Amino acid sequence: MLKSILGVIVGYVVMALFSFAAFTCAYLGLGVDRVFEAGSYDVSTIWMVIMIVLSLVGGILGGLVCAAISKSKGACMAFAGIVLGLGLIFAVMTKMKDHPDTARSGDVPNFEAMQKAQTPTWLCMLTPVLGAAGVVFGAKKKLPAA
């Protein structure tokens, strides 16, 4: 039981650290003008693609780590459920908060960009699904076939 809990926690931490590092590097590498549409905080198509890919890769890494530690299919499925549930809660919370319709000008620091980014609702709902699917895929690659 302890290994299962530890697997879920460490898997989630790995996902979070990977996501933070990867999104930060992608933001700094692309630059503000390629992350956002011109003069706005609406995310660009390239950023949407990056979000999709990184959500799936982060889930796979988390699933691999959870499976390696817990060695339990049940723990990995619970982890996928947690990723999906928390992700959807955060997506709904993000869509409920006010997003001012201010124009973007010049360089925007990473933290400010995260706060003001306007992501389409469909993508906010898709990324937790991809993260959870990644967890399941990663776990299946690591765990022996039943």
> What pLDDT is attached to residue 42?
87
- pTM for the model stands at 0.89
> What pLDDT is attached to residue 3?
94
C-alpha atoms less than 13 angstroms from C-alpha of 21 in its C-beta half-sphere: 8
Residue 40, burial from CB neighbour count under 10 angstroms (0-12, 13-18, 19+): middle
pLDDT tens for each residue of 27-41: 999 988 899 888 888
3-state SS assignment for residue 50 = helix
- Report d(CA 94, CA 124) in Å as an integer: 8
- Report d(CA 25, CA 107) in Å as an integer: 16
Helices 45-70 and 121-142, axial angle in degrees (round to 10): 30
In sign, the C-alpha dihedral spanning 116, 120, 121, 126 is negative
pLDDT tens for each residue of 59-111: 999 999 999 999 999 999 999 999 999 999 999 998 887 766 777 777 777 77
Look at 47 and 41; give whichever has higher pLDDT: 47
Domain boundaries, the chain: 2-142
CA 141 to chain centre: 20
Outline where the chain has alpha helix (H): 2-30, 32-35, 45-70, 73-96, 110-116, 121-142
> What pLDDT is attached to residue 91?
92
- Which letter does DSSP use for residue 38 in this model? T
